[in-house]
Amino acid sequence: MDVEVRDFGSLYLKQLWSASSGALVVCDANRQILRVSPRFTDLFQIPAAECEGRDLDELITPAPFLPESECVFDTAISGIPVSIVAVKMKKEGELTRVFQLAVQIITDSSDRLVCFIFRQIPESAKQRVSDRCADGELLNNAFENSLEPSLYSDATGNIIRANTAFHSEFGWTPVEISGQSISEMLIPTAILPEAEYINSMQKAGKILRLRTTRKKKDNSSLQVSLIGAPMNSNTSLTSQAVAGYRIYRTSNSEAHTTADVTARNDFRECPYPGLHTGMFFQARIDEMRTMEFIAPGSASFAGYSEVELLSKTNPYAGIILNEDRNMVLEAIEESLHKREDYSITYRIKSGSGNTLWVMEHGRAYFMNNEESNFCVGCIIDISETKRDQENLVLARSRIEKLHSVAAKLQQCRSPGEIYRVCTEAGQSVLNGACSSVFIQDSHEMKQVASSGRELYNCDEECNPGMVELTLSTVSPCYFSSRDLMDNHCPAGSSGACFRLSDKAVFQIITRDNNVFGNIDTRITELLLGYTQQGLKRITLQHQLISQALHDPLTGIHNRNYFNRIIELEELRAKRLGSSIGFIMVDVDSFKIVNDKYGHQTGDDVLREVAKILENALRKTDTVLRYGGDEFLIILTRMTTDHCHRVEARINNAIEKSQKLHMADGENITVSMGHAFWTPDAKETIDEVLGLADNIMYENKREKLRKQ
């Protein structure tokens, strides 16, 4: 291809083209390839002449990974650099694992381009077991685990197979869709000609993207984004799927895909260059730290242009202070051999001659002998943070107070108590006029704890702004008297809001108009960190208690729960003068079920029986798994006839349950026996349980005699 880089109207792109050792490709805003580098041709084995004007996905993206690839493109062209490990396809259908960068480039004429850099990751550098699976298995996993409703079709447009997301979204079962026509099942009558267009695009080997309408099993309409792609015969997951692979994305599925790509982004925790706080880069692991990529607009904090730092005459190692340079190189080298992320802080000389403290967070990749090892990451200016750290001695007394607050939080036994201690610390540690914790309940923001509001006659609805906004941001929200607020607060007009969880916000109001400084922010973050630890501890305690009292197979209570509550039920019965009924339930011939149909079927039977027993009871009654295939029902405040009605209800439900009808016509049944305990009974509860158990086994033996 004879297109020169300078024709793109970007000095940065020209410098990037000469500096990078990766496989480069430049696309326009419609994903059409404008130019590929020789390394791209070598990596994907596609001649440059076959690339110009082609859709990049059509060339190298396997069909199951199309939603991810589209999201990478959409994210990059919005101005946010993306770095992920991806799966791509060579010309002959061979899959390869690559490291991929994607970034938007604005030309001198304001055209938006997207530049991709690919580096093949050698087999020896693979870090995840899931990446070592065979091509077919990898594609199959991508199809099955996709959050997007997806399906295969054959050459005639009939459905071969769909994934779980499709069945969940559209309502049809696998049996109902197999062999059915896509046109008849999914496309509304008014737009049926669209089917011919889709088929013709697939037969022509084109990837298709369009927004359209599809119908569900209940005939309701669903607005979707559709991606259709022809299957490559060398990578097909099923030999019948020769005409196409289709992915239907619902209106909200793009958010899922974006979240998935963001979750895989190596440096999602670092600020992106679009925030003008850091430099997103790719560099060789050598003594000069040769830069091969720097995101446009991201190096300004250091006082350099990206073109300057990409130049070999001005290597990045040259702006690192001499006393820090070896430490930086050693840390990256250690990360390379350990195959772990690295995070280091060091000093650089800015373009204006000032010394800046920076933090670099990245990941190193080990390549083969033919290519240089490289790292990718983000460098942010932490000079202000360093100054705060140097001045932290001024806040020593507040830190000491915070330690006592942390001890109190560890002693709290409920979330409400933790919120109360947290808000009190807003006054005692942070010197705030008042502080509060708000939690979003449905669409309403509710105050659940506060301290100091009573001094200022604040009403329950007093909320000086920023609380709801904080939930939609990552960073704290600061406000001062200059900001517009929902309501005036008599305690003050300045302060800050911090996210405490996905639905909770901590707010502190100050007595003056000075917005929180960095030291205040750091101490607040420590306080909220201790608060979050306390909340997690309580949640974990509740989970452990729940696990100890519930049967993991059926989800109902277990025998531990019985031992915990039976004394309470006995005392309640004595106080009310009521009786307690016990029904022992045992699955008939359960060992035969396990032996004949397998333990998985046996587990399904136990789960279904447990569900039936629960549905047959009142809210005041209890069912628990007593052991093996035996269940115990506890009936409180009951009449004598109630046990018979419950047993009849259970037998009727079991007889009707389709899940208890085996494939060979055999039906699962249960045997039951009941007994009563009253406060004036001579028998103990254990003896009454033994009586119910004996009756149950006698009924079981009677069934066997009649067979």
Query: Do 331 and 305 contact (CB within 8 A), yes or no?
Result: no
pLDDT tens digits for range 80-104: 888 888 899 888 888 888 889 999 9
- Flag whether pLDDT at 445 surpasses 70: yes
Which tokens go with 101? 């960068």
Q: What integer pLDDT is reported at residue 592 of this predicted model? A: 86
DSSP element (H, E) containing 363: strand 355-365
Which tokens go with 201? 């695009």
CA-to-CA distance for 36 and 63, rounded, in angstroms? 22
- Flag whether pLDDT at 497 surpasses 70: yes
Mean pLDDT of 303-328: 89
Q: What integer pLDDT is reported at residue 606 of this predicted model? A: 93
Taking the alpha carbons at both ends of the chain, their separation in whole angstroms is 85
DSSP element (H, E) containing 691: helix 685-706
Q: What is the CA radius of gyration of the chain?
A: 33
- Flag whether pLDDT at 271 surpasses 50: no
pLDDT tens digits for range 669-679: 999 999 989 88
Query: Do 554 and 610 contact (CB within 8 A), yes or no?
Result: yes
Helix, strand, coil shares of the chain, percent, nearest 5, are 40, 25, 30
Query: Do 212 and 222 contact (CB within 8 A), yes or no?
Result: no
DSSP lists the bridge partners of residue 115 as: 26, 103
- Of residues 545 and 50, the one with the higher pLDDT is 50
Q: What integer pLDDT is reported at residue 131 of this predicted model? A: 47
pLDDT band at 610 (very low <50, low <70, confident <90, very high): very high
Q: What integer pLDDT is reported at residue 124 of this predicted model? A: 62
Least Cα distance to 377 among 319, 331, 326 occurs for 331
Q: What integer pLDDT is reported at residue 34 of this predicted model? A: 92
Residue position matching structure tokens 């001649």: 47
Average pLDDT, the chain: 82
Residue type, 82: V
The DSSP-derived string for 484-509 is: --SS--TT-SEEEEEE-SSSEEEEEE
pLDDT band at 130 (very low <50, low <70, confident <90, very high): very low
- Flag whether pLDDT at 6 surpasses 70: no
- Of residues 241 and 378, the one with the higher pLDDT is 378
CA-to-CA distance for 307 and 13, rounded, in angstroms? 9
Which tokens go with 377? 């990451």
- Of residues 245 and 669, the one with the higher pLDDT is 669
Helix 642-656 and helix 599-615, axial crossing angle in degrees, nearest 10: 140
Query: Do 25 and 35 contact (CB within 8 A), yes or no?
Result: yes
Q: What integer pLDDT is reported at residue 466 of this predicted model? A: 73
Query: Do 36 and 51 contact (CB within 8 A), yes or no?
Result: yes
pLDDT tens digits for range 517-546: 777 888 888 899 999 898 999 888 888 888
pLDDT band at 243 (very low <50, low <70, confident <90, very high): low
Q: What integer pLDDT is reported at residue 453 of this predicted model? A: 74
CA-to-CA distance for 554 and 624, rounded, in angstroms? 9
pLDDT tens digits for range 425-435: 888 888 788 88
Least Cα distance to 452 among 484, 429, 486, 481 occurs for 429
- Flag whether pLDDT at 118 surpasses 90: yes
**In this predicted structure, which of 110-119, 179-188, 439-448, 498-507 has the lowest mean pLDDT?**
439-448
DSSP element (H, E) containing 416: helix 415-428
Mean pLDDT of 577-606: 90
CA-to-CA distance for 236 and 254, rounded, in angstroms? 25
Mean pLDDT of 364-393: 79
Phi, psi of 40 (to 5 degrees): -65, -45
**In this predicted structure, which of 51-65, 232-246, 466-480, 530-544 has the lowest mean pLDDT?**
232-246
Least Cα distance to 177 among 246, 229, 131, 227 occurs for 246
Mean pLDDT of 133-154: 79
Q: What integer pLDDT is reported at residue 392 of this predicted model? A: 65
CA-to-CA distance for 376 and 590, rounded, in angstroms? 59
Q: What integer pLDDT is reported at residue 229 of this predicted model? A: 82
C-alpha distances out from residue 623 to 480, 546, 570, Å: 57, 15, 16
Query: Do 414 and 538 contact (CB within 8 A), yes or no?
Result: yes
Residue type, 227: I
CA-to-CA distance for 686 and 695, rounded, in angstroms? 14
**Could you tell me where the DSSP H helices lie in 111-270?**
135-144, 164-170, 174-177, 182-186, 193-203, 253-264
CA-to-CA distance for 538 and 343, rounded, in angstroms? 32
Least Cα distance to 33 among 45, 44, 48 occurs for 48
Q: What integer pLDDT is reported at residue 323 of this predicted model? A: 94
DSSP lists the bridge partners of residue 631 as: 585, 625
- Calculate what percentage of the chain has a pLDDT beyond 90: 20
DSSP lists the bridge partners of residue 624 as: 557, 632
- Flag whether pLDDT at 320 surpasses 90: yes
Q: What integer pLDDT is reported at residue 319 of this predicted model? A: 92
Mean pLDDT of 587-592: 89
Q: What integer pLDDT is reported at residue 68 of this predicted model? A: 84
DSSP lists the bridge partners of residue 227 as: 209, 247
Residue 158 per-residue DSSP state: B
Q: What integer pLDDT is reported at residue 462 of this predicted model? A: 59
Q: What integer pLDDT is reported at residue 582 of this predicted model? A: 92
pLDDT tens digits for range 201-233: 877 778 888 888 889 999 898 888 888 887 765
**Long-range contact set of residues 657-666: C-beta below 8 Å, sequence gap at least 24:** 657/608, 657/612, 659/604, 659/605, 659/608, 660/605, 660/608, 660/609, 662/593, 662/597, 662/601
pLDDT band at 18 (very low <50, low <70, confident <90, very high): confident
- Flag whether pLDDT at 242 surpasses 60: no
**In this predicted structure, which of 114-123, 125-134, 419-428, 596-605 has the lowest mean pLDDT?**
125-134
Question: Helix, strand, or coil here: 664?
Answer: coil
- Flag whether pLDDT at 143 surpasses 60: yes
- Flag whether pLDDT at 128 surpasses 80: no
Highest-pLDDT range among 150-154, 255-259, 368-372:
150-154
Domains by residue range for the chain, with CATH? 5-129 (3.30.450.20), 146-259 (3.30.450.20), 273-390 (3.30.450.20), 405-545 (3.30.450.40), 559-706 (3.30.70.270)
- Flag whether pLDDT at 505 surpasses 80: yes
Least Cα distance to 581 among 675, 649, 682, 695 occurs for 675
pLDDT band at 33 (very low <50, low <70, confident <90, very high): very high
Mean pLDDT of 665-688: 88
Cα 676 from chain centroid? 51
Q: What integer pLDDT is reported at residue 331 of this predicted model? A: 93
pTM: 0.52
DSSP element (H, E) containing 378: strand 374-381
**In this predicted structure, which of 117-126, 332-341, 373-382, 634-643 has the lowest mean pLDDT?**
117-126
- Flag whether pLDDT at 484 surpasses 60: no
- Of residues 458 and 161, the one with the higher pLDDT is 161
Mean pLDDT of 5-30: 82
